[in-house]
Amino acid sequence: AVGWHRPTKLVIDTQAIKENVGNEVKRMPQGTELFAVVKANGYGHGAVQTARAAIEGGATGFCVAILDEAIELREAGITEPILILSVVDVSYIDLLLKYDLSVTVATQEWLEQAIEQLKYIETPTPLKIHIKVDTGMGRIGFTTPEAVKQTVDLVQSTNVLIWEGLFTHFSTADEKDLRYFEKQTHRFQTILAVLVDLPKYVHVSNSATALWHPENVGNMIRFGIAMYGLNPSGHALPETYPLKPALSLVSKLIQVKELSAGEGIGYGNTYTTTEKEWIGTVPIGYADGWLRHLQGFSVLVNGERCEIVGRICMDQCMIRLPKKTAIGTQVTLIGHDHGEEITMQMVADKLETIHYEVACTFSERMPREYK
Ligand SMILES: Cc1ncc(COP(=O)(O)O)c(CNc2conc2O)c1O
């Protein structure tokens, strides 16, 4: 495939994904299911490979963000339930039926249009829907008990729909302060109180809710970041059980040279050697998602931290080595090396962002190798 002919690669430990899922499956309340969230190409880890590892760990379904991500899983032979978490244009209802996908309903208007569309589709297999409640995320979903009740009544008045789920999403489950989480929980319970029937899945939990609010997960967990072995809160809350990071990022030195003092490195000549220095060149750059703001961050060579010196280029970057080093020596940008470790969180901290974004920014040009 494209991109496999270079030393730079993401190495994904599928056993870690399986273990992270398995630990949560063991820990979650009886009768709860775990749906693996594999949107954004499995948070950059590879959606299909992550999905297969998650199934081995005990996942019984999947969540994706858009229709095309669901189709990719189906075309790879995944047969478990798949919920599309965003709104799909009603003009694609035939694809939702063809690929047996579950879809999010966030407005009455969409539902009315969908029912209209379904009347004209020959194969009248019912469309599976999950009603989304916005209890405070402020993104998509119904906001009042009356609106939800009205929508449920409409759903139950027709035989072209299967009401499969009712769900909400928390915006602060990964924080110490519980007030807003409790406000959202209360709002969701107010909605449940006005409903006579409930669907198969009533789900509220992302990884943070599963880890730190296990009593409040409903009967299905939408398990994303923790499956990849990453702490949903970054640094804010301790892990409640060991999460094993699945992703490493490695490359190899393609050039090593000794420079005298006063030599410039990289575009804009932003770095000048101050003494005799050994400089190595690594074939990774911002086109791979290894962003320019990482200038000054350190990577590992033979267990030694080596600073990225000069501006990161599109395809390459330069590091200062402690001594003469052989071309072809491994460079570890994320992962373990000779007892040292660079974590995705460290990269996120340097980029002043969260590790979700770091993982999703690795580009298509970065080969993914699975072990
Ligand atoms: C509706 C919904 N459910 C579950 C998850 C999984 O969350 P987790 O990875 O923390 O377990 C997400 C992640 N959505 C996003 C994660 O980062 N930005 C987002 O919009 C989501 O949007």
If you measure from the C-alpha of residue 319 to the centroid of ligand 1, how many angstroms do you get, rounded to a whole number? Answer: 35
Structure tokens at 233: 């809160």
Q: pLDDT tens digits for 316-367?
A: 999 999 999 999 999 999 999 999 999 999 999 999 999 999 999 999 999 9
Pocket probe mutation, ligand 1, options 205, 206, 356, max atoms within 8 Å of Cβ? 206
Please give all residues whose beta carbon lies within 6 A of any atom in ligand 1, as ranges.
37, 85, 169, 206-208, 222-225, 232, 356
Cα distance between residue 133 and residue 135, in whole Å = 6
Alpha-carbon distance 283 to 285, whole Å?
7
Mean pLDDT of the residues in the chain: 96
Q: What separation in Å is there between the alpha carbon of 183 and the centre of ligand 1?
A: 19
Residues 322, 324, 328, 333: what is their CA dihedral angle, to the nearest 10 degrees? 10
Catalytic residue, chosen from 18, 39, 128, 132, is: 39
Q: Which amino acid is at 58?
A: G
What are the pLDDT digits (tens) for 81-90?
Answer: 999 999 999 9
* Ligand 1 site-directed mutation target among 356, 358, 361, most atoms within 8 Å of CB: 356
Mutate-to-test residue for ligand 1 from 62, 137, 170, 222, highest number of ligand atoms within 8 A of CB: 222
Q: From the alpha carbon of 232, which atom of ligand 1 is closest? A: 10
How far does the centroid of ligand 1 lie from the alpha carbon of residue 331, in Å? Answer: 31
What is the predicted pLDDT for the residue at 123? 67
> What is the structure's pLDDT at 119?
87
* Residue owning the nearest CA to atom 18 of ligand 1: 356
Centroid of ligand 1 to alpha carbon of 72 (angstroms): 19
The gap between the terminal CA atoms of the chain, to the nearest Å, is 17
Sequence-distant (6+) residues with CB within 8 A of 139 are 169
ipTM of the complex: 0.99
Span from the CA of 192 to the centroid of ligand 1 (angstroms): 22
CA pair distance 242, 247, nearest whole angstrom: 15
Cα of 258 vs centre of ligand 1, distance in Å, is 47
One of 98, 241, 257, 267 is an active-site residue; which one?
267
Residue type for 123, please?
T
Do residues 168 and 204 lie in contact, with contact meaning Cβ atoms separated by under 8 Å? yes
Q: Which atom of ligand 1 is nearest to the CA of 227?
A: 11
State residue 1's pLDDT score.
Answer: 47
Ligand 1 atom closest to Cα of 356?
Answer: 17
d(CA 119, CA 117) in angstroms, rounded, equals: 5
83, β-bridge pairs: 63, 102
pLDDT in tens, 251-287: 999 999 999 999 999 999 999 999 999 999 999 999 9
267 is catalytic: yes
| pLDDT score recorded for residue 2 | 54
Stretches where the chain sits below pLDDT 50 are: 1
Q: What is the chain's alpha carbon radius of gyration, rounded to the nearest angstrom?
A: 24
> Which atom of ligand 1 is least distant from the CA of 206?
11
What's the pLDDT score for residue 264? Answer: 98
Residue nearest to atom 16 of ligand 1 (CA): 356
Task: List, in sequence order, every beta strand (DSSP E) within 5-140.
Answer: 9-12, 33-37, 61-64, 82-84, 102-105, 127-133
From the CA of 206, how far away is ligand 1's center (Å)?
6
In ligand 1, the atom with minimum distance to the C-alpha of 222 is 4
DSSP letters along 238-294, please?
--SS-----EEEEEE--EEEEE-TT-EESGGG-EE-SSSEEEEEES--GGGT--GGG
Whether 362 contacts 9, CB under 8 Å? no
